[in-house]
Amino acid sequence: MRQKNEQVWPGEAVYCPACGTKLERTRVYGRERGVCLDCGRIEFRAPQLAAAVLLQDGSGRILLVERGPESTQPGKWSIPAGYVDYGEEIRAAAARELLEETGLVATIGPPVYVATNFHDPAKVSVCVWFAGTITGGKPQAGSDASDVGWFAPDGLPDLAFDTDSDLIARLQKPDNPGIGA
């Protein structure tokens, strides 16, 4: 039986992928999981991996995209990001997502933030935000973005995700040197 405060994720397996037997819900390692009573397999559900590119201009403004109508949180804004495809290198995914959403090409630098996103229970993700430096292109909304814009940290539009808000707040601390342009 699930505890009141236990997170329940959509899409949990019903049958064992190893032998096809129906899984039994059993408390294992501190939470309820699917367990195969025939072969002993325990089903673990892994978060998806995502990559984001944080761009700041010389004035400290941050590049954001307005999320399109088919996106999570449509009409709100976020740092350009997306899921890493299976077999894709994470920095390549960050560059691809930036190009798809903004039309910009960038050199992907070091990671500046890592967090778990719980904003969509069906797609829990761990995201790595990388610093980026623009090397080409012109800002224009593409794929699942409706608009692209530069915003001062004290004049942000309505952000889609708490993790973006947290990162931007960290950038405002006096001991943070920023990420470059």
Domain boundaries, the chain: 9-45, 48-171
Mean per-residue pLDDT for 56-70?
Answer: 94
Question: Bridge-partner residues for 115, per DSSP?
Answer: 127
Helix (H, G, I), strand (E, B) or coil at 178: coil
Assign domain 48-171 to a CATH class.
Answer: alpha beta
Would the pTM count as exceeding 0.75? yes
Exposure pattern of 41-80 as b/e (b: 16+ CB <10 Å)? bebeeeeebbbbbbbbeeeebbbbbbbbeebeeeebbbbb
pLDDT band at 6 (very low <50, low <70, confident <90, very high): very low
Question: What is the predicted pLDDT for the residue at 150?
Answer: 98
Place of tokens 């405002």: 172
